[in-house]
Amino acid sequence: MIEIRNLNVDYFGNSALENVNIDIPFGYTIGIIGPNGAGKSTFIKSLLEVIKKRSGTVMVEGRDISEYKRKIAYVPQKNDIDLTFPITVKDTVLTGTYPNLKIFQRPGKKERQSVEECMTMVDISDLANKQISNLSGGQLQRVFIARALAQKADVFFLDEPFVGIDLVSEKIIVKLLKQLREEGKTILIVHHDLHEVEEYFDKVIILNKKLIAFGDVKDTFTADNILNAYGASLGNLVIKGMGGAEND
């Protein structure tokens, strides 16, 4: 279980999240939804200590999250990563094994073997020696998913994994996430498209600067809660969603 107590986060001097309290149980696929600027990405970044909290504690299985972070795989939004870095697909996936290696320790045969398997799982083995800026959005996302798999994590944090990717990639990723869920992994996904919520998630966290609601999708993903989170922007957002692939 991930216990979040009194989480407050500032973003460039403004309050981004206020007093969030949630107990996230293990073993579910959980969507994090809310309007643009609701603090969804900020929420997972602050849990992982990528950005500073103003106050609050995050405990995993009763201990501070910093002791557990090697077991959490994080897939950030694509624009957080320097795609021009001189690194191939295979070596990018290999960096997923780094959290479980000691300082000075180099990845060995076992790690390289695992990289091959992870690349096969998302069908990118044929791209192994390409530099990462030569890939399409969907291929790139599969590379970062493969990297997360290589970490052999128990918990996965994914930030907008379906934005700007093709249908084939989306299908591969969705199938894989279902498989991970069946293996008992915990998956948290920041998601902005309300249409797939019922299909993709067991539980949903609805955020807008504060926690609006958290619970099983069928109880929590209700018109009241959504209206509460999105307010006046809802009408606009529904129209956007119905317009098809909207990338932001």
Partner 1 sequence: MIDYFSSLLNIPIYALNAGLSAIILGIVSGVLGSFIVLRKMSLMGDALSHAVLPGVALSYILGINILVGASLFGLLAAILIQFITSRSNIKSDTSIGIILSSFFALGIVLITFAKSGLDLTHILFGNILAVPQSELMQSFIIMLVVIAIISLLYKELLISSFDPVVSKAFGLKTGFYHYLLMMLLSVVTVSSLSQVGIVLVIAMLVIPAATSYLWTNKLIHMIILASTIGAVSGIIGVIISFRFNLPTSATIVLVGVSLFAISFIISPKNNFLRKGVKQG
Question: Strand 203-208 and strand 29-33: pairing?
Answer: parallel
d(CA 8, CA 204): 20
Q: Which residue's CB is nearer to partner 1, number 133 or number 236?
A: 133
d(CA 228, CA 234): 10
What is the distance in angstroms between the CA of the first residue and the CA of the last residue of the chain?
32
Question: Does position 227 bind partner 1 by CB under 8 A?
Answer: no
Q: Which helix (H) or strand (E) holds 224?
A: helix 223-230
Q: Which residue's CB is nearer to partner 1, number 12 or number 223?
A: 12
Question: Does position 35 bind partner 1 by CB under 8 A?
Answer: no
Question: Does position 41 bind partner 1 by CB under 8 A?
Answer: no
Q: Which residue's CB is nearer to partner 1, number 65 or number 229?
A: 65
Contact predicate 205/186, CB 8 Å:
no
Question: Does position 50 bind partner 1 by CB under 8 A?
Answer: yes
Question: Does position 80 bind partner 1 by CB under 8 A?
Answer: yes
Question: Does position 66 bind partner 1 by CB under 8 A?
Answer: yes
The residues facing 72 across adjacent strands are 155
Question: Does position 103 bind partner 1 by CB under 8 A?
Answer: yes
Q: The sheet that has 63-64: what strands, in order across it?
A: 14-24, 2-11, 55-60, 63-64
Question: Does position 88 bind partner 1 by CB under 8 A?
Answer: yes
Question: Does position 164 bind partner 1 by CB under 8 A?
Answer: no
d(CA 210, CA 39): 9
Q: Which stretch binds partner 1 (CB under 8 A): 28-36, 43-51, 187-195, 233-241?
A: 43-51
Distance of CA 18 to the CA centre of its chain: 21
Q: Which stretch binds partner 1 (CB under 8 A): 71-79, 187-195, 200-208, 219-227?
A: 71-79
State in angstroms the smallest separation of the CB of 70 from partner 1: 6
Q: What is the CA radius of gyration of the chain?
A: 18
Question: Does position 126 bind partner 1 by CB under 8 A?
Answer: no
- Where along the sequence are the contacts to partner 1 (CB under 8 A)? 45, 48-50, 66, 69-70, 72, 74, 76, 80-82, 85-88, 91-92, 95, 98-99, 101, 103-107, 131, 151, 157
